[in-house]
Amino acid sequence: MYKYDAIDRQLIAQRVEQFRDQVRRWKAGELSDDEFRPLRLQNGLYVQRHAPMFRIAVPYAMLNTAQLRKLAHVARQYDRGYGHFTTRHNLQLNWPKIEDVPDILAELADVEMHAIQTSGNCLRNITTDQFAGVAADEVIDPRPLAEILRQWTTFHPEFAFLPRKFKIAISGTREDRAVTWFHDIGLHLQQQGGETGFRVLVGGGLGRTPIRGQVVREFLPWQHILTYCEAILRVYNRAGRRDNAYKARIKILVQALGVEEFSKQVEAEWAHLKDGPATLTQAEFDRVAAHFTAPAYNAAAADDAGFRQHLADNTAFARWVERCTHPHRVAGYRAVTLSLKQHGVAPGDITSEQMETVADLADHFSFGELRISHEQNIILADVQEAHLYTLWLTAKGAGLATPNVGLLTSIICCPGGDFCDLANAKSIPIANAIQARFDDLDYLFDIGEIDLNISGCMNACGHHHVGHIGVLGVDKNDAEFYQVTLGGRQGNEARLGKVIGPSFAADEMPDVVDKIIKVYIDNRHEDERFLDTFDRIGIDPFKNRVYEGRAHGKAKAAEKEAA
């Protein structure tokens, strides 16, 4: 992975001292709360329900084991011994002290980590596919260009105070795993006539107004990516709405202008920047790409007899291999997902001890590197099949081998009302209640592949819109209710789920999910996944079953009140 040079290191060290001085001036009253807010947000620091929340960047999902051990240490030393992985390649701490944050940043800088622009109305962390560089369906490794974009976004002088936050995702695979259709800019790396470049999508986003991105350029040669992004950002910075925070994302501007007019403005702006000094050079690409070379794979890894034997002998191991390992471009290797979706634990949460176990596993079995996914799991990308059994035993002992990746209980879930100030409703207890209801592994495997995503408010950090089953926490007269959507999906055919009907009380949610699953089981054809059945039979059978003969939502609340 990318190693900082002296200048990269110096910049994040200077960032620590800059923020230390900002905290000092804020405490001394030289900076008002309003003046300090964007400064702390651009260092990942929110003021939340119980304590500040601090968001650390994991740029394009890559970590080495020294970094993970540092995160374990920071969580133990400055927090309560655990952290939370988010859907955008960040680690959040829920209980740090503001006064400690400069020291935390200094510790992170020691291992080339930071919290730069992890929040605020600015260019955010670049995200990509967690299997970048090893995926069997990869066309081009997105990581060198993701790192080049990371540097371009870092302290960009013109775009530090945008109308609203701005998120870029980049994907280099046939099947999109980076939710690129729902980012402010989505980039698809591809080859065209022997040339490498991007399809450029703009104006996607989830949140309050979920909109699928639109293509503004079918093919942009890679050398032009920085100038083209500058053009997009300049159009947005000047014309994006600033009168209403809910209408300030670039997606609203693209909708208002229409994608043709928006593209025209971008192209007109780009005409001035094209071929200028910000045009990327082959030398720079090569310099960065040299950091992302393949590790020294064992040429004799294929067809390991011991691995085959364990698969045949041990059902639990075989199940884990089926759910939690993924095809690798090198024969005899797999990418391994360590599930952070153990039933009863907050999805995406990881303790300091678990981080250290993962670091040990990565050192032993995966060349000392790992990734985190937007599904809030950890990936060891380069594991030899011969080592899977030993790895599994250790991971299992640490609560990291729940064989539920891609299944109903591997829930994407935001921190929700337990921690977050924005939330309308709790999300973690809903996830845990559903996990408890579907605790039977045989049943879980029988149900098969299904994405259940939960957000505690319409800001959609839990990506509920693109869950096959989506759950959204809503506030109704100060009570917490949950709206359910069906049929959403990520990937190449990404689309938004449809609302099934009136919302439900928290204690109804396991039953509601149970009924939805039963409709699928009753109607499925052989080999049909949940989504296939849904696409074939539509939403009505689900609606009918879920609302059959019962009061719900407000009506139920009224009944309860009457009783």
Partner 1 sequence: MAQLIKNQAIALDPWTSLALADGETPETVALPVGQVIFPFAVWQSRRAEILARGTPVGVLLEPADPIEDLAADVDQLALIAVNFPKFVDGRGYSIASLLRQRYGYSGELRAVGDVLHDQLFFMQRVGFDAFALKDGKDAEYALKTAFAPFSETYQVSTSQPQPFFRRRA
Does the protein bind partner 1 through residue 161 (CB under 8 A)?
yes
Does the protein bind partner 1 through residue 284 (CB under 8 A)?
yes
Q: Which of 48, 154, 255, 390 binds partner 1 (CB under 8 A)?
A: 154
Alpha-carbon gap, residue 561 to 549, rounded angstroms: 19
Q: At its nearest, how many Å lie between partner 1 and the CB of residue 225? A: 12
Q: What is the 3-state secondary structure (H, E, C) of 271-293?
A: HHHCCCCCCCCHHHHHHHHHHHC
- Residue 27: count other Cβ atoms within 10 Å of its Cβ: 12
Q: Which of 80, 95, 106, 151 binds partner 1 (CB under 8 A)?
A: 151
Alpha-carbon gap, residue 142 to 170, rounded angstroms: 7
Contacts 24+ apart (CB under 8 A), 187-195: 187/142, 187/145, 187/225, 189/139, 189/140, 189/142, 189/145, 189/222, 190/139, 190/140, 190/219, 191/139, 191/140, 192/219, 195/221
Nearer to partner 1, 26 or 181 (CB): 26
| Segment 27 to 86, residues that bind partner 1, using CB under 8 A | 30-31, 35, 38-39
Specify whether the CB–CB gap between 82 and 75 falls below 8 A: yes
Specify whether the CB–CB gap between 36 and 22 falls below 8 A: yes
Does the protein bind partner 1 through residue 18 (CB under 8 A)?
yes
Q: At its nearest, how many Å lie between partner 1 and the CB of residue 230? A: 8
Q: What sign does the CA torsion over 345, 347, 350, 355 have?
A: positive
Specify whether the CB–CB gap between 423 and 457 falls below 8 A: yes
Q: Which of 82, 159, 307, 367 binds partner 1 (CB under 8 A)?
A: 159
**3-class secondary-structure state, position 366:** coil
Nearer to partner 1, 116 or 425 (CB): 116
Does the protein bind partner 1 through residue 465 (CB under 8 A)?
no
Q: Which of 87, 90, 119, 121 binds partner 1 (CB under 8 A)?
A: 121
Alpha-carbon gap, residue 455 to 463, rounded angstroms: 7
| Segment 220 to 259, residues that bind partner 1, using CB under 8 A | 226, 234, 237-238, 242
**Candidate ranges 21-29, 248-256, 359-367, 502-510; the one touching partner 1 (CB under 8 A):** 21-29
Binding letters toward partner 1, positions 504-533, x by CB under 8 A: ------------------------------
Nearer to partner 1, 247 or 543 (CB): 247
- Cite the DSSP H helix spans in 290-380: 305-313, 315-324, 352-365
Specify whether the CB–CB gap between 498 and 507 falls below 8 A: no
Does the protein bind partner 1 through residue 182 (CB under 8 A)?
no
* 351 phi-psi bin (left φ>0, alpha ψ -120 to 50, beta other): beta
Q: At its nearest, how many Å lie between partner 1 and the CB of residue 70? A: 23
Please state, in angstroms and as integers, the Cα–Cα distance from residue 536 to each residue in 464, 487, 530, 539, following that order: 22, 11, 10, 9
Q: At its nearest, how many Å lie between partner 1 and the CB of residue 354? A: 35
Comparing CA positions, the residue from 63, 167, 87, 72 lying closest to residue 373 is: 87
- The footprint of partner 1 on this chain (CB under 8 A) covers a number of residues equal to 43
Q: Can you read off the two tokens belonging to residue 108?
A: 């992170």
Nearer to partner 1, 163 or 467 (CB): 163
Nearer to partner 1, 140 or 280 (CB): 280
Q: At its nearest, how many Å lie between partner 1 and the CB of residue 59? A: 14
Please state, in angstroms and as integers, the Cα–Cα distance from residue 137 to each residue in 107, 131, 176, 387, 446, following that order: 37, 10, 10, 23, 27
Nearer to partner 1, 48 or 151 (CB): 151
Cα 195 to its chain centre, rounded Å, is: 30
Q: Which of 27, 287, 518, 536 binds partner 1 (CB under 8 A)?
A: 287
Q: At its nearest, how many Å lie between partner 1 and the CB of residue 156? A: 5
Binding letters toward partner 1, positions 410-439, x by CB under 8 A: ------------------------------
Binding letters toward partner 1, positions 353-392, x by CB under 8 A: ----------------------------------------
Pairing of strands 168-171, 127-128: parallel
Nearer to partner 1, 167 or 524 (CB): 167
- Residue 138: count other Cβ atoms within 10 Å of its Cβ: 19
- Catalog residues that contact partner 1 under the rule CB under 8 A: 5, 7, 10-11, 14-15, 17-18, 21-22, 25, 30-31, 35, 38-39, 121, 148, 151-152, 154-163, 226, 234, 237-238, 242, 272, 276-278, 280-281, 284, 287
